[in-house]
Each structure stands twice: as structure tokens, then as C-alpha cells.
Amino acid sequence: MSVSTVAADQSVCAPLAVLGRDVTVPLVTGGEVTYAALDYAASAPALQRVWDDVAAYAPYYGSVHRGAGYLSQLSTDLFENARRTVEEFLDCRAGDQVVFTRSTTDSLNLLAAALPADCQVFVFETEHHASLLPWRDARVTYLNAPRTPGEAVATLEQALAARTVSIEGGYGPALVCVTGASNVTGELWPVRELAAAAHAHGARIVLDAAQLAPHHPVSVQDLDVDWVAFSGHKLYAPFGSGVLAGRSDWLLAAEPYLAGGGASRKVTRRTDGGVDVEWHDSAARHEAGSPNVIGAYSIASACKALTEEGFDNLVAREQHLIRTVRAGLAEVPEVRVLSLFGDDAPRVGVISFVVEGWNSSHFAAALSAEYGIGVRDGLFCAHPLVRTLLGSDPETQGECGAPEAAPGEKSLNAIRVSFGAGTPDEHVERFVRAVRELVRDGARWQYRTEGGRCVPAV
């Protein structure tokens, strides 16, 4: 079956079943409606398959790596097989390591803790805070937001060419951190070209694939990146696990991210009363404590489901949804969609916008209370990027995800709608219709600010 045929056949139903697809929620105007979950960029719902796999394994759960019992051995095999599944999903190189973490944020903080001495880091201001903030103890160069993919590459090349000499002389190690797809605009970044620029100047590169991996295939070898980080909860596996995958040398040379059982191979007392520790020289070095076996297994289950469904089919279906949303928003003159690279830039199912005359928190609250549609409003943990896109003072203070003014007042925030493999057509069609009606007719209910959030007045 061709991609076009699959997209047509699946124009109504989502290609992958997710939990919550039949949940109904009350409306302030009366009655109930099936909930339209359009906040995938924050946390995607669990795939039904992931949930079923976890439920089937749960009775056999046991402690990994340490137990002689059958369940412990079974859990150990399952945990390590999950690591190999992720290696295949990411098309890792021979010798690469897959470390299970808690999230993308945890993964990038782990890498930041493993940087060689005097490492210089280059990061665009457009990054999510998870990839913008972990490098503060290193020598960081923050790069201005580019307006085209070509400008992004040129900006990085110029910055790398102007690298400062390290305290030991020479340029020393360097790392570039870049997102694969923006969590604000959904736009794809030129990762392969940025990796080539980094390597040409002797730097390494880590890819924040939190928003890319659920929507597109990610190949470490094809993109030629040194590390990839992503979260299970955005990959339809919301069980508190994440991944850092890539080159092992910096990770093995660093002290463990967390010290404790599992990370240590041998611990002995010294005659002076202290202890000597021999750390593992594998991924276990940075996986101290009892690992999140169910989280790792759920990620592996999601990787298998996405691979078996086929990213060609998933991408084609998602592009259909993107066209529906963008065409609908374009028909409302009061709506301004936020973009760095322009309307023709390739993107995933993440779209942010503002509505003239509306506080974004008020608008999002009305979508939820009156239409049963869940979106996100705020600065999306990407404050510098959203401020740039809104043309505001970059020094202005703001609180992530919370409005700073009462409904109807000017406030620095935007609305984000996001979707993926579990989204049926009806959800995005209802969203487009709701935007049109709210702009044309206004809200049908009164709203107030409570605890920093806009909520229906009762």
C-alpha cells in the first residue's frame, strides 16, 4: 500500500491507538464531549500497546542485575534487551552506549556533568530549557536565533571559527547542542549540516530529539551526531524514563553522574579509614540505584510500535493534520502563527500562535472548558525563543506556563497545539472550528485568574 493510500485510509482514525481516546470531559456550557488531547509536545498519551506490554510484564517484575531468582533474571534480560532495542531504533554506531535516564533534561545534565575540563559549549537561544540550561558550569556561547536553516549553520560556523583559546592553550574540547524539532514552532533544524560544521571545527554535537523522535526516524549514523537525548513520555511511553545514547569515551572518563550501587564494580576500605571505588566501564556507570525497568521497557515497546507502523506512514498522516490546522488558522486574520524559518519550513505537529485581542491563557481556558480541547499556553520552557518570536524584551521576567495578567489583559504568552500518531481528524477539526468561533463570537463563559491560571468562574 502506498503512503498516499495509507494517508487517505487513515484520514479519520489515528494510526496508533492510545490510552484516553474515549475519555469524556464535562463542558461548562453543559453536557460532555470526548476529550481532544492536543498537547502531545508536553506529554504524549501512552500507546495502547505500551500499556498492554507493561501490564503483561508487571507480575514478573524483579530487581535487575543482582538477583539469582527467576524474576530477577527475567527482568535483567528484559532491561538489557530494551537497551538493544533503543540502539536499533536510533541506528547507533558500534561502541555507542545507551544510558537510561529519567528524561531528556536528565540526559543532558548527565552529559554536562561528563564534559571534559575546560570544554566550550555552543547552544542557540532557541533551545528548550532542558538543552539551554545544563551547561552553565562550562564555557558557554549562546547563539542568537537564526531566521533560516542556512543562517543557523553559518552562525555556528562563525562561532566555532572564533573559539577562544583554553586556559591550557589550544582550543580544547567543544560541544554543540541543538534541537531536532522546535517545541515551540515544530520546525525541523538542519541537524546533519550542523553536525558537519561542528566536526569540521573539531567539536562534537548532541541532538535534543525530544520533539523529533516521536515524529521522524532518528539515525545517529545518518545525522552523524555524537549523542542523542530523548524522553519516554514524549514517545508514547510516559513511565518516567529517558535515554542518552552515543559515544562512550567522555562518559567513561567522567565520575558517575550519581554515586551508589549499580555504578560501582568494587568498593574496598583503605587503611586510613576511607574507601576506594572501582566504577563500571559500561552504561551502568551512570545508572546508579535500582533502575526504572518498566520505564526502559515501555520505551522499547514504543520504539518497536513506531518502527513497525513505519515512519513513512506516520509522517504522511501527520502532514495531513498539519495542513488541516495551518489552513484553518490561516482563515482567521486575528491569528498569528509563530515561526522562525517561515511557512514553507518542514515541521512536526507542533504549532504555536497568538490571537489578537486575547490573552493566550484565557483563550486556552475557553478551548478546554467550552470545547473539551486540551492545549498549552505560556512560554513552553523556551523563554528566550518565545520572547524573540513575540518581539518582546529578552530581559522581561516570566513564569513558565503561567499567565502574568488577568484575562483580556496583555500578557507575554502564546498558545500551542500539538498532536501525533494517536490524534484522530475530529480532534484537529474541532480545534479549528473552536478557534474560529471564539474569535468570531467570543467566549460563552466568564473566566478569572486563580493560582496563576485562567479558570472558568463559578
Cell numbers for 315, please give them. Answer: 509522517
- Residue 328: partners with Cβ closer than 8 Å, 6 or more residues away: 428, 431, 432, 433, 435, 436
Helices (H), 343-415: 360-371, 383-390
Angle at 341 between CA 335 and CA 344, to 5 degrees: 75
Residues with catalytic roles: 381
- As beta bridge partners, residue 455 has 448
CA distance 197 to 120: 15
CB atoms within 10 A of CB 408: 13
CA distance 439 to 456: 18
With beta carbons less than 8 A apart as the criterion, state whether 350 and 184 touch: yes
What single string gives the DSSP state of each residue in 73-133? HHHHHHHHHHHHHHHHHHTPPTT-EEEEESSHHHHHHHHHHTPPTT-EEEEETTS-HHHHS
- Residue 160: partners with Cβ closer than 8 Å, 6 or more residues away: 122, 174, 176, 197, 198, 201, 203
- Residue 245: partners with Cβ closer than 8 Å, 6 or more residues away: 86, 87, 90, 92, 96, 97, 98, 99, 220, 227, 228, 229
Looking up cell 542557540 gives: 124
What is the CA 93 to chain-centroid distance, rounded?
23
Whats the size of the chain, residue-wise?
458
Which 3 state secondary structure label does DSSP give 286?
A: helix
Type of residue found at 159: A
CA distance 269 to 425: 64
Cell numbers for 354, please give them. Answer: 497568538
Please return the burial class of 95, using the count of CB atoms within 10 Å of its CB with bins 0-12, 13-18 and 19+: exposed
Cell numbers for 193, please give them. Answer: 549540516
- Residue 307: partners with Cβ closer than 8 Å, 6 or more residues away: 89
With beta carbons less than 8 A apart as the criterion, state whether 17 and 421 touch: no
For residue 420, report the phi and psi dihedrals to the nearest 5 degrees. -170, -145
